[in-house]
């Protein structure tokens, strides 16, 4: 199980198959939202993700792979991929596109205008 402190989507990650020079990896996601980002840190292991299913490869640099969830999950309610290299259990993190957009919109929101000044009291009659 992926630590909820680093992935609020509720995820479980596991190695599903291994062969000479590569492996297949799967991440099951409880709260699927297309566009959410998953980062896998391979701890400096030389891993190159190939064929991703139900996710798009965004980047692969410095021993990290970043994937974006597609609109639909695979038959196991998750995404998977084949990779070249020796398997090393990755550290998995995720971020929600909704919370990122919400934080961004709050950060860049136009502030409310100041309230109008109080109405002065009427002069005595």
pLDDT of residue 22: 97
The predicted pLDDT at position 114 comes to 61
pLDDT at res. 73 = 82
Cα separation, 97 vs 36, in Å, equals 5
Residue ranges and CATH numbers for the domains of the chain are 11-97 (2.60.40.290)
Q: Phi/psi at 97 (nearest 5 deg)?
A: -65, -35
pLDDT computed for residue 111 by the predictor: 54
Per-residue pLDDT, 60: 96
The order of strands in the sheet holding 78-84 is 11-19, 22-29, 78-84, 48-53
Per-residue confidence of the chain (125 residues) as pLDDT tens digits? Answer: 888 888 888 899 999 999 999 999 999 999 999 999 999 999 989 999 999 999 999 999 989 999 999 998 888 789 999 999 999 999 999 998 755 433 333 344 455 556 667 777 778 77
Token pair listed for 85: 């290299």
């Amino acid at each position: 199980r992926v630590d909820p402190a680093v992935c609020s989507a509720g995820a479980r990650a596991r190695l599903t198959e291994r062969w000479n020079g590569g492996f297949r990896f799967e991440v099951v996601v409880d709260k699927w939202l297309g566009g959410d980002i998953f980062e896998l840190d391979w701890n400096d292991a030389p891993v190159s993700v190939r064929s991703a299913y139900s996710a798009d490869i965004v980047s692969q640099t410095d021993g990290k792979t970043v994937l974006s969830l597609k609109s639909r999950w695979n038959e196991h309610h998750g995404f998977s991929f084949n990779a070249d290299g020796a398997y090393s259990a990755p550290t998995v993190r995720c971020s929600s596109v909704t919370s990122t957009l919400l934080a961004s919109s709050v950060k860049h929101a136009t502030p409310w205008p100041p309230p109008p000044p109080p109405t002065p009291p009427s002069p005595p009659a």
